[in-house]
Amino acid sequence: MNSLKAQLTQKIDHLKEGRALIYHHAEGDSNRSYLITSAENLHDETLENVINHCCNLSLLVSDVFLEKCGHHLFSTQSEVALKCDFSVDGLKSLISSLSASEVQSGPDCMLMRVKDSASILHDETAEARILEFMSNIDAADGVLLYGLLLDEHGEHLEKAAGPQKMDLLSISTDEIKLSRFFNPMLLEFTGVTEVELQQGKFLLHSYYSALDRRYHWAFVQDDGEVDKLPLVRLESECLTGHVFGSLLCDCGDQLSQGLEQVNAYGKGALVYLRQEGRGIGLKAKLEAYYLQQVHNLDTVDANIAVGMPEDARDYVIGAQILNHLGFDSLKLMTNNPAKIKGLNRYGIKIDERVSHIIPPSNLNRKYLETKKTRMGHRI
């Protein structure tokens, strides 16, 4: 198994079993630590430690969960106080009967915070990240119990012995974001069909990603050789090169050659990612084209001049698709070291880099030279 996936799955299982995680949240200049646990799988010992070591104890749910359990009123509020018996049975009773709960006030109440599911991925609060990690758990829409640690870093808990000792693991904001590559809520497999292309016959797998709200595809070959490493090409969308045959780049030839090599090899995939213009989008890409033509800028300086990074791509969606295909180790067809680094970040092992060289023409020679000298491409 992917080593990063195994490490994070251990922490997901920790929550499934009703145990607690220390979550270290970094937001701007603020660093806070929380204890989080699944309210539905809660144990007496875990609840006791959460109560003893935390303040601002709250329940955390998504608006979607509340709508599913029939309480549409609460789903439109950011927080609400509910009468609650502060015991495992009391909390579980509250959760199971949320649709009949009423807003209360006073010392015997539990604050329930509600997050908007549609904005969770772009929300930088601790609550959004906690709910995002929760969505890795089966039956993803659930209820979390969490509180702000009185001991900021949780050092007292981690060193405690005897009855105060907890079976603890910790997690960071960066780890939660890395878990996106295998989060079942973020990538939807929308179907597979056989397609015949000029380069051969492929199984076309279709996916919808909640991260960018786009469809992405994988053109897959499988000759049935179990021990054979798959050959993979991550191809970023280029409308001008792939569809209209632009001679200013090598993208059209790279797509065609990539499909040919995967087909000839017999096992692997060309993963087609909707990351137009190295992730800056078609509008900005065409503005950068203009600066290249009129002011003789190269592709790097032109991207920066229109207010964009030289390369805005993130390979999390590619990693999601490779995870779905079961490709933990592979041969990667690329000249771009950033792709290798981008996949390694998500625990995907690149056993071999396969060169993907397209001979230059008079029109794209400067473009290819910029890739080599300024972006480190091995061409």
- Residue 294's Cβ-count burial label (10 Å; 0-12, 13-18, 19+) is exposed
CA distance 270 to 276: 16
CA distance 217 to 208: 9
Residues annotated as catalytic (active site), given as ranges:
311, 313
Query: What is the strand order of the sheet 109-115 is part of?
Result: 79-83, 109-115, 54-62, 144-149, 30-38, 21-27, 169-172
Q: What phi and psi, each to the nearest 5 degrees, are found at residue 14?
A: -55, -45
CA distances from 192 to 258, 260, 328 (A): 20, 20, 21
Q: Could you give the 3-state DSSP secondary structure of residue 25? A: strand
CA distance 71 to 82: 13
- Closest by CA to 166, choosing from 64, 249, 52, is 52
Contact 348, 330 (CB under 8 A): yes
